[in-house]
Structure 1
Amino acid sequence: MDSNGASPIAPTPPAPATVTHKDPKMAAQAANDMNIVRRKLTGYVGFANLPNQWHRKSVRKGFNFNVMVVGESGLGKSTLVNTLFNTSLYPPKERKPPSLDISKTVSIQSISADIEENGVRLRLTVVDTPGFGDFINNDESWDPIVKNIEQRFDAYHEQENKVNRMNIVDNRIHAVVFFIQPTGHSLKPLDVEVMKKLHTKVNLIPVIAKADTLTDEEIGEFKARILADIAHHRIQIFEGPRYELDDEETVAENAEIMSKVPFAVVGANAEVSTVDGRKVRGRRYPWGIIEVDNEEHCDFVKLRQMLIRTHMEELKEHTNNSLYENYRSEKLIAMGRKQDMSVFKEVNPAVKQEEERSLHEAKLQKMEMEMKMVFQQKVAEKESKLRQSEEELYARHREMKEQLERQKQELEEKKTRIEQGRPLEEKGKRKGFSLR
């Protein structure tokens, strides 16, 4: 009871929210959003420790990374790989005499090594393509490379189809470092053709090899021409993904890395002494020293940062979720298999009710349209019959009117004859036979 003696009125509970949308997918998404209840925790639960659990599991299991290097001989592919991972993965190559016969096809060589850093183990596999671009006629020289990438996809797909999938070995190529000759002009036709064959199957990372042969101005102009060629031929190169939760520092770091593409790199394993007594990895020239790890001298640090330190998992994730899935889908479709999209529908009562309501509304709308069409057809038929009856009545009316006009005219003539004293019928016009 309040001060006036009236009973307090209980608050009316809010009506259940309903979702109305013409698009069933959008309605389903809205229904899902309605089912998400956000609550603020009043105490510590513990699921914030999930990243630490994932970290321990990943460190215990180890990581793997497969990279392919593509480019002509003499561009420093082996040296750059050794420089990237700071290990002698590639032994020094033996100098072959000029008289030795050179292979007529592109061969595929794979080298794997287990490396460890601060307790983290990495199984590194480098796939080299010796002989690429070394022939007078390089037509179809990219076929062994493309076939090797597809064979790795097929091997992974075959492992997925086995009964036991606990120990699947991922041999798919996660990144292709494509070496471009430091000509300073633009991409060669062979480079364009190979990149067009590869960009839908692998993460393509273009680099300018032996960038110390070009000046800073020449490198800037060369990069602009390469990017223009890539855009003109619609070649997709790897770009770091952007996430909503990234802080400003991460966004700026990714933008700085992508601004260096294609990376102008210099590889060197040997250490040299600088004027101030520092030991650095680089190359000594009569005019000075090129430091590999100095960002003012080349883009090696940015390449290593993207390839290893910041985007290695993104490269593997994009390979698995996008490139491999597209290849797998095309392969299954070519085999005549079709995807039943109903298997992806979640069993959610609210979503199901919303879909049924949408289907019912569509059915009612269809029935209403059919009834309107039948009604319009009946009305059209009735109007046609009415018009036909109207025309018949009008013709009959006109005929009766003409008949009345003729009778009136005959009566007028008879009246005139009577007034003039003439017989109503002339003798010559008497019809029939007479006995008189």
Structure 2
Amino acid sequence: MAASMVSSQPEEISAASYVGFDSITRQIEHKLLKRGFQFNVMVVGQTGLGKSTLINTLFASHLIDSKGRVDIDTQPKQTTEIHALSHVIVENGVRLKLNIIDTPGYGDSVNNEGCWDPIVKYIKDQHSAYLRKELTAMRDRFIPDTRIHCCLFFINPTGHTLKPIDIVVLKKLAEVVNVVPVIAKSDSLTLEERAIFKQRVMAELQFNQIRLYPFDADELDEEELTLNERIREMLPFAIVGSERSVIIDGKPVRGRKNRWGVINVEDEKHCEFIYLRNFLTRTHLQDLIETTAQIHYESFRSKQLLALKESSAKNQQASAATASA
């Protein structure tokens, strides 16, 4: 009866019959804006691929000091351990707490066996810390979320294919985090070389059954599924990062200048940076957060609780056997 009454109402509801529950979206928005949002992004790749520069370019702020060489006589700096940097960015009244997790360049040593273990362990440790806080009797109302929402995986622009160590690291990461691959410093390749390289990389990833983000789900509508398909066709994103401004047609733009001309970071004819930025911040930011909670964390949580249950059952059996003896 109520359903038929609702469907028969005109579009303009009179003041007498207006209840007001449609304002719930504004109420939710007000609370979320007061609380702010959290986004945790990890960068993984070999040393010297411009990981810090890309993060600064993505969020249009100097968030991480670049480890590149300032002059030819200076040795490049290296990240020797995993560390997180936190920044609060405000845009049009929206407050975003951004955690950037910088990782050591893997594959830099003579023996690289297990070089990915500290990275995978760090990701799992964040899940474990969240689970512990979730299971406490007097848990916080809002549990601080340090789970990694996105892992940007930097590919060396060799123009050939992925190295065996890249495949191993990608397989390990894809099991525990949303992985988004990018071709670093893609301006070192011609457009033809770049297209061929992207095809080779994706063929290698598909052959090794490495599942990359974004994922499709039953609740997605046709428009969202189409967008995901377009993004998958574009992977890996061929990007160029730069914090410097160069003048093009009298206007300052972020880019790089060399002897052959100027690379405009935000020109889609030069690189795919704007597609990556739109993907991470304008269309899939919330989905990255939700996917982390609903897929990767839930998988970790269920495995941990099942292991805890089995351990408890074994202890009970051992205690019963001891008591009967």
Give the TM-score category using the shorter length: 0.7 to 0.9
* Conservation of the 8 A alpha-carbon contact between 1:106 and 1:132: no
**Equivalent residue runs for 1:55-94 within 5 Å:** 55-93=29-67
Cα-Cα RMSD = 2.7
| C-alpha distance 94-240 of structure 1, shift in aligned 2 (>3 A) | closer
| C-alpha distance 199-94 of structure 1, shift in aligned 2 (>3 A) | closer
**Equivalent residue runs for 1:1-400 within 5 Å:** 39-40=6-7, 42=9, 43=13, 44-93=18-67, 107-162=81-136, 163-239=138-214, 241=216, 246=221, 248=223, 253-274=227-248, 276-337=249-310
| C-alpha distance 238-140 of structure 1, shift in aligned 2 (>3 A) | same
Match of 2:314 in 1: none
SS at match of 2:304: helix
Deviation of residue 82 (structure 1)? 0.3
Residue-by-residue CA offset, 1:389-423 (whole Å, 9 max, x unaligned): xxxxxxxxxxxxxxxxxxxxxxxxxxxxxxxxxxx
The 2-side partners of 1:109 and 1:230 are apart by 28
Deviation of residue 106 (structure 1)? 5.4
Match of 1:19 in 2: none
The 1-side partners of 2:203 and 2:53 are apart by 28
Deviation of residue 184 (structure 1)? 1.1
The 2-side partners of 1:75 and 1:116 are apart by 28
Residue-by-residue CA offset, 1:294-314 (whole Å, 9 max, x unaligned): 111111111111111110110
The 1-side partners of 2:267 and 2:66 are apart by 25
**Equivalent residue runs for 1:408-423 within 5 Å:** none
* Conservation of the 8 A alpha-carbon contact between 1:106 and 1:144: no
| C-alpha distance 335-186 of structure 1, shift in aligned 2 (>3 A) | same
Which amino acid in 2 is paired with 1:333?
Answer: L
| C-alpha distance 37-304 of structure 1, shift in aligned 2 (>3 A) | same
Which amino acid in 1 is paired with 2:168?
Answer: E
Tell which deviates more after alignment, 235-244 or 317-326: 235-244
Deviation of residue 331 (structure 1)? 1.3
Deviation of residue 94 (structure 1)? 7.4
Deviation of residue 246 (structure 1)? 4.5
Deviation of residue 245 (structure 1)? 7.3
Identity of aligned residues (%): 45
The 2-side partners of 1:242 and 1:201 are apart by 18
Deviation of residue 242 (structure 1)? 6.3
SS at match of 2:7: coil
SS at match of 1:334: helix
Deviation of residue 257 (structure 1)? 3.1
The 1-side partners of 2:101 and 2:220 are apart by 35
Match of 2:315 in 1: none
Answer with 1 or 2: which has the greater Rg.
1
The 2-side partners of 1:303 and 1:140 are apart by 30
Q: Structure 1: which 5+ residue stretches go unaligned?
A: 1-35, 339-436
Match of 2:316 in 1: none
Deviation of residue 40 (structure 1)? 1.8
| C-alpha distance 149-332 of structure 1, shift in aligned 2 (>3 A) | same
| C-alpha distance 294-186 of structure 1, shift in aligned 2 (>3 A) | same
SS at match of 2:53: helix
The 2-side partners of 1:251 and 1:108 are apart by 35
